[in-house]
Structure 1
Amino acid sequence: MNRIILIFLICTAFKTEAQTSVLNIADSLFAHGNYSKAILQYKTYNNQPEVYHKIAKAYIAIGNYDEALINYEKGVETNPENTLLKYDFGKFLYRSKKFKKASEVFNKLVYIDYKNPNFHYELGLTLEQLKDSTAQNRFHSAFELDTTHQKAIFKIAKYYLKKGHNKTADKYIDIGLNSYKNNKELISLKAQNYYVRHQYEKAVVWFEKLLELGESSAFIYEKLSLSYAQLFEFEKAIEQRKLALKFNPLDATSIYVIGTYYEKIDDFKKAEEYIWKALALLDTPLDAEYMKLATVLNRQKKYREGIDALKKAIKENPSNEFSSFHLAITLDAYYADFDSRIKALEDFKRKFPNGKLISFVNDRISKLKEEKFLNEEKKED
């Protein structure tokens, strides 16, 4: 009898050792990226409930999300007390865009352990995707449980910034940066917060800090450029906008804006070059852009080219009074004889008899007629 018991114990120990070996091999295969082989090995393990979550993770690794879901569900069903497994399952559901089911899992986790800030945060993320206004309550709960929770702080600060509660947003941003000074997301919010409040000098400091931390994007360079322009530092504005342009070389708006900045520093040749480039790319109504080009050309005394640009502006938008006015005064500068100059201004009057600029045009016509009269008298003498 004792011998039978001994043999049984030996067999049991052997089977246990064999199963331990199966698990070790499967874990090793998983660790080395042999996920499909790891799955086959895990499936030979006697205690399947113990490895359902491992099989699920292996399926995720090879992109089979349906099988991952099946194994996660089996794992949760056979291990109802395993909160870590439920937490992983909830995150998997969120990544799979099964937000309703994910919210149910995280709601249960919050009920099980209300003092876990991450459970609140993950529930907040899922509620946010479901357009549930109570998402912010979860982010606030996560923050109250852990005032250094960077991700929760970011969500709260971003919400207040979008709502226009800039001081409240700033308060949370500062709390976050106090515990992690190089949080790029919060630094970006800090910069944007100053920018929307027109505090451009401070905005520049924080956008520059993002660049120092290795962040690089068209958005950062564009906002830096706009901030420098507001501070009348147009050389720096040009430099930053050109860096933004590298992300999208065919961005007609950026190319046009660079042209306007060159005009500000009286580099009309460069201004003309960039505005022409923009016009070649734009496919929207271009009256304003052609007017700007005409201004740049006129400043270089290229009146003939300026006139052509203005005619194109008028063609783009015939009802734009300013385009027609700009053409009239350019023709006034271009023509040598008084009759042609007067006619250009009277053509404007006929087109816009009740225009906003009619008093200026009347005054100019009157002066030209006076000059013509005096010039004719001088010739007679």
Structure 2
Amino acid sequence: MIRLSILFFLVFFKTEAQTSVLNVADSLYINGNYTKAIQQYKNYYNQGEVFDKIAKAYIAIGNYDEALNNYEASIEANPENTLIKYEYGKLLGVTKKYKEASIVYTNLVNVDDKNPNYHYELGLVLEQLKDSTAMNQFQFAYNLDETHQKAIYKIAKYYLQKRNHETVDKYADKGLETYPKNVELISLKAQNYYWQHDYREAIKWFEKLIELGEYSEFIYEKLSLSYVEHFNYEKALENRLMALKFKPNDASTKYVIGTYYLVLDDFENAEKYISQALLVLDQPLDAEYMKLGTVLNRQKKYKESIAALKTAIDENPSNEYAHFQLALTLETYYADYDAKIKVYEDFKKKFPNSRINGFVDDKISRIKEEKFIKEGEKQD
């Protein structure tokens, strides 16, 4: 009887001790002391019960190889536990072991094909494997749960890429019924309207993204372009300046900003931004230098305009409109009538078959007439 009591006491003590080990390990894990938690878990007598906990602790400290090893050991010890298999599949996806993950999720779907998230996760790994059946899995997930926001997003995005605008709206609106602040679906609606050239609606949805705290170069750029379509250059400029903050040295954005300032008759800023852009851009820039020439002309900076237009011609000697704009500027710059006439005659020699030679002939005729009148006034 005494021996039995002692044996009972020893078993009870050992059980209590092991329970204490597990409680300490769980407490360490909960409080973020993952490495010490792992050490405690490894002291627990029934490792099959804690392999998954060890795996989660290794994930927390970024040791994915050890986490995978412990998930595999846990699955071997608990072959019927689908939750452990699900978590293992997710880690395989995170570590880009997509083929292995697809096998895990396929098996889970076979066990429970009514679980929408199994289908969704399988869709994700099939997508990474460039498997066209991925969309089928997202559709299965949606069919099983019409509130599944992530599946809805994947489906709507697919149809946006196909430019199937009506279907995009159908799924996006369905998702927004249950989660009106889903920024991913709001973004798809904004883009959907943009690609349909319904810029007024696109503006509304892009601005909704900003209201929800979403800020990106893409959003501000598309907002800017949408406002241009409605000739609202003040708002277009405001949003393009916001886009520039994401890439302060982006020459293309600076050039566009310069053109907006030009439309708004702010020639000083137009010159500033276009000049900055031209210092960086590395491509044929005749059109851009012509725009700078226009800006300088509007400020009566004719000498600088002539230099810009000559650069445009150097960039593309066959650009007859750059030559013509230079002739117009030289006409204004020169005081001598013969010099004015010569710039247009030189243009005709370079471009004898130009469609604007009728206008050039008219300019020459008017200058000659003005010269004749001025010379007559001097004789009187």
- TM-score by length of structure 2 reads 0.94
Distance in structure 1 (CA, Å) of the matches to 2:365 and 2:128: 67
Distance in structure 2 (CA, Å) of the matches to 1:257 and 1:126: 40
* Structure 1 residue 375, shift from structure 2 partner: 5.3
Greater Cα shift, 54-63 or 368-377: 368-377
User: Aligned ranges for residues 123-142 of structure 1 at < 5 Å?
Assistant: 123-142=122-141
Which residue is 1:80 aligned to? 79
- Asked whether 1:246 is paired with 2:275, we answer no
Distance in structure 1 (CA, Å) of the matches to 2:74 and 2:364: 89
Letter matched to residue 304 of structure 1: K
Which residue is 2:26 aligned to? 27
Q: Secondary structure at the match of 1:172?
A: helix
User: What are the superposed Cα offsets for residues 186-244 of structure 1, whole Å, 9 maximum, x if unpaired?
Assistant: 11111111111111111111111111111112221222122112211111111111122
Greater Cα shift, 371-380 or 157-166: 371-380
Distance in structure 2 (CA, Å) of the matches to 1:30 and 1:178: 38
Letter matched to residue 171 of structure 2: Y
Which residue is 1:296 aligned to? 295
Distance in structure 1 (CA, Å) of the matches to 2:218 and 2:324: 37
Distance in structure 1 (CA, Å) of the matches to 2:172 and 2:178: 10
Greater Cα shift, 339-348 or 120-129: 339-348
User: What are the superposed Cα offsets for residues 109-148 of structure 1, whole Å, 9 maximum, x if unpaired?
Assistant: 1111111111111111111111111111111111111001
Letter matched to residue 93 of structure 2: Y
User: What are the superposed Cα offsets for residues 148-201 of structure 1, whole Å, 9 maximum, x if unpaired?
Assistant: 111111111111111111111111111111111111111111111111111111
User: Aligned ranges for residues 159-174 of structure 1 at < 5 Å?
Assistant: 159-174=158-173
Letter matched to residue 335 of structure 1: Y
Q: Secondary structure at the match of 1:8?
A: helix
Letter matched to residue 198 of structure 2: Q
* Structure 1 residue 356, shift from structure 2 partner: 4.2
* Structure 1 residue 277, shift from structure 2 partner: 2.1
Distance in structure 2 (CA, Å) of the matches to 1:194 and 1:213: 19
* Structure 1 residue 369, shift from structure 2 partner: 4.2
User: Aligned ranges for residues 214-363 of structure 1 at < 5 Å?
Assistant: 214-363=213-362
Which residue is 1:92 aligned to? 91
Which residue is 2:112 aligned to? 113
Identity percentage of aligned residues: 65
Letter matched to residue 226 of structure 2: S
Q: Secondary structure at the match of 1:232?
A: coil
* Structure 1 residue 351, shift from structure 2 partner: 2.4
Change (3 A) 1:151 1:340: same
Distance in structure 2 (CA, Å) of the matches to 1:82 and 1:353: 85
Aligned residue-pair number:
380
Distance in structure 1 (CA, Å) of the matches to 2:276 and 2:28: 57
Greater Cα shift, 271-280 or 77-86: 271-280
Q: Secondary structure at the match of 2:317?
A: coil
Change (3 A) 1:101 1:379: same
CA RMSD of aligned residues (A): 1.9
User: Aligned ranges for residues 153-164 of structure 1 at < 5 Å?
Assistant: 153-164=152-163
Gaps of 5+ in 2: none
Letter matched to residue 310 of structure 1: L
Letter matched to residue 279 of structure 1: L
Distance in structure 1 (CA, Å) of the matches to 2:101 and 2:365: 78
Which residue is 1:183 aligned to? 182
Letter matched to residue 260 of structure 2: Y
Letter matched to residue 45 of structure 2: N
Distance in structure 2 (CA, Å) of the matches to 1:15 and 1:249: 66
Greater Cα shift, 297-306 or 187-196: 297-306
Which residue is 1:200 aligned to? 199
Distance in structure 1 (CA, Å) of the matches to 2:199 and 2:48: 59
Change (3 A) 1:361 1:77: farther
Distance in structure 1 (CA, Å) of the matches to 2:318 and 2:79: 72
- Asked whether 1:55 is paired with 2:61, we answer no
Distance in structure 2 (CA, Å) of the matches to 1:363 and 1:105: 80
* Structure 1 residue 27, shift from structure 2 partner: 0.8
- TM-score by length of structure 1 reads 0.94
User: Aligned ranges for residues 147-158 of structure 1 at < 5 Å?
Assistant: 147-158=146-157
Greater Cα shift, 2-11 or 63-72: 2-11
Distance in structure 2 (CA, Å) of the matches to 1:258 and 1:320: 24
Distance in structure 2 (CA, Å) of the matches to 1:360 and 1:98: 69
* Structure 1 residue 3, shift from structure 2 partner: 4.1
Distance in structure 2 (CA, Å) of the matches to 1:258 and 1:96: 43
Q: Secondary structure at the match of 1:186?
A: helix
